[in-house]
Chain A
Amino acid sequence: MTPTLDIENLSVHFPHRDGAIAAVREASLAVLPAECVGIVGESGSGKTQTFMAAMGLLSAGACAAGSVRFEGREILGASPSELNRVRGSKLTMIFQDPMTSLTPHLKVGIQLAEVLVNHSHMSWREAEKAALRALERVRVPEAQRRLRQYPHELSGGMRQRVMIGMSLLCEPKLLIADEPTTALDVTVQAQIMEILRAMRTELRMAIVLISHDLGLVAGLADRIVVMYAGRVVESAGAADILGRAVHPYTAELLKCVPDLRRPRLERMPSLAGQAPSAGGSETGCAFAPRCPQAGERCRSERPELRAIGGAVHQAACHYPLPA
């Protein structure tokens, strides 16, 4: 089966006066049709930049190397008009902050309809009907009235629903959700995740869910990819990551997920040390300075991503934990 999105050896650099800053280093991952992949990592682990590159949204100064193919077509180096044929229709993205992602002076209905007029050359009248259906689909109450409202008249959760509705207008093959619930409160978060789950079964599209919240990702993802310092460090089925993580970083991350069933702790567990800066050159494993398992080899030789107990479970570690 050809993957919907195939990222191979992707590196993203930002030029800087003290040499280049590497946001993504030789990351490879694939998203199969109708699959939901969770991307987990700390701030600065390169998870957002990886998919910004996949959307052709890297800022002007960034250099990307490697290959990103969407349905077999190369995205890196594609012209803006080529990109605009897939962006917003087959390949869509929703962002972290729904408060600022809608253009403030346009009514919601017009913003939705415009995507359709732009991509499927529908008439405005038809597009507005489709916009109404899109809002009903993501369970926006009083959808008819919402179409005539401006973004600032809607709550955060409602705006994120509008964003999701907008991204689903052309029935995409892949939806990239970049921390879709970070800016929302917990009850709204649950509703948004429920909508994503329902839409996924309804439209049979692939979803990439980027988050730093393992618990959130675990609820939706089939497969979880853990990133650290711009690299993929572990990739496995969701159950394997949660139950049988082999990379010490993943294991430490899991320890930090609060669990109400466990006895109350004095302090929230947290990972010691700091994520490495993206500027430095790397020798050995980037996680070695914070890793409880690290040995001499970890500081001198960088571990490659390799299969561990089954082809779908991969980790980049010299001393993986017993699965």
Chain B
Amino acid sequence: MSKGSIHRLRSNPVAALAFSVIVLLIAIAVIGPWFNPNNIESLDWAHVAAYPSLTGAHWLGTDRLGRDLFARTLEGMRVSLAVACVAGAISLSLGLAYGAVAGYAGGRWDQLMMRFIEVLSGLPLIFFVIFLTVIFGRSQYLLFLAIGAIGWLTMARIVRGQTLSIRQREFIEAAIASGAGTGRIILRHVVPNLLGPVIVYATLTIPQIILFESFLSFLGLGIQEPHASLGTLIAEGAGEMEAAPWILLVPGGVLAVLLVCLNIVGDGLRDAIVGREGAAT
């Protein structure tokens, strides 16, 4: 990313605000536990389903087993963000490599590789995940892999499309004329020029992944007790909605704020980078 696009991103106040909110949320998720006397597993039988109160022992209240909601929400944020990062990284690297190779090879290879992507994206997602959990048992890592393995399909398509257009540019011809081999051309001359759209798409994928993970956890296919993700917390809260709405509202609110901010930052990033590409001709 050039200095210009960072500057453009900074001068977009909404995106800058959203970015600060994300940084703040991540900071709270990481350092919050040191300031909170309660941990995620301890049951406080004296305060079951307690109201949120800043002066009490539980700042955001407790759930129906007396577990501290603040501690559990922090845990949920950490897990959700970790899933997003790992699955995002998997889909990014796989999609980038696959798409760049298909687009640069072109012709029959391109056709073959893209048909394979179409077959994979035709598989029903939920069925795929259930299938994996049945075979390999439930585990966090499997969840990371499964979500990443699905996210890379769209990434590969986007990368391939961009590669097809970059392949036609003269500097690629000049690089071939200077005797660079195919691997070097893809790594040094094609991939770095893809990073703009790829970063934007990756930023917009992260909220989708968080949402998808929450959805899987809500269905009981994702993170297991005693660990929590935002999705399991919401599922738990949904059961107590009438008696203790804060058990739903706290993780739900955090999820909503996180998703909105990520989407705004992604949009701002796209504007900043597309602006750069428009200006650099």
Query: What is the bound-complex CA distance between A56 and B176, given in angstroms?
Result: 9
B105 to chain A, nearest CB (A): 10
Residues of A within 8 A of B171 (CB): 100-104
B13 to chain A, nearest CB (A): 28
Residues of B within 8 A of A322 (CB): none
Pick from A86, A97, A100, A106: contact of B179, CB below 8 A.
A86
**Across the interface, do B175 and A119 meet the contact criterion of CB distance under 8 Å?**
no
* Interface membership of B192, Cβ < 8 A: yes
Residue of A at shortest CB range from B281?
A99
Residues of A within 8 A of B175 (CB): 103
**Across the interface, do A95 and B106 meet the contact criterion of CB distance under 8 Å?**
no
Given contacts A60-B106, A100-B171, A101-B171, contact A88 B180 (CB under 8 A): yes
Give B230-265 as 1s and 0s: 1 = Cβ < 8 Å from A's Cβ atoms.
000000000000000000000000000000000000
Give A229-253 as 1s and 0s: 1 = Cβ < 8 Å from B's Cβ atoms.
0000000000000000000000000
**Across the interface, do A93 and B179 meet the contact criterion of CB distance under 8 Å?**
no
Residue of B at shortest CB range from A150?
B2
Residue of A89, A103, A152, A163 ringed by the most chain B CB atoms within 10 A? A103
**Across the interface, do B177 and A81 meet the contact criterion of CB distance under 8 Å?**
no
Residues of A within 8 A of B170 (CB): 95, 97, 100-101
* Interface membership of B42, Cβ < 8 A: no
Residues of B within 8 A of A60 (CB): 106-107
Residues of A within 8 A of B193 (CB): 103-105
Which B residues from 83 to 107 make CB contacts under 8 A with A?
A: 106-107
B103 to chain A, nearest CB (A): 13
Query: Contacting chain A: which of B17-25, B30-38, B182-190, B217-225?
Result: B182-190
**Across the interface, do A118 and B180 meet the contact criterion of CB distance under 8 Å?**
yes
Which B residues from 158 to 178 make CB contacts under 8 A with A?
A: 169-171, 173-178
Pick from A85, A88, A100: contact of B178, CB below 8 A.
A88
Query: What is the bound-complex CA distance between A252 and B193, given in angstroms?
Result: 46
Residues of B within 8 A of A152 (CB): 280
Residue of A at shortest CB range from B173?
A57
Pick from B107, B177, B181, B188: contact of A55, CB below 8 A.
B177
Query: What is the bound-complex CA distance between A57 and B184, given in angstroms?
Result: 17
Pick from A80, A95, A114: contact of B173, CB below 8 A.
A95
Give A74-87 as 1s and 0s: 1 = Cβ < 8 Å from B's Cβ atoms.
00000011011111
B interface residue numbers (CB < 8 A to A): 106-107, 169-171, 173-182, 184, 188-189, 192-193, 280
A interface residue numbers (CB < 8 A to B): 55, 57, 60, 80-81, 83-89, 92-93, 95, 97, 100-106, 114-115, 118-119, 152, 163, 166-167
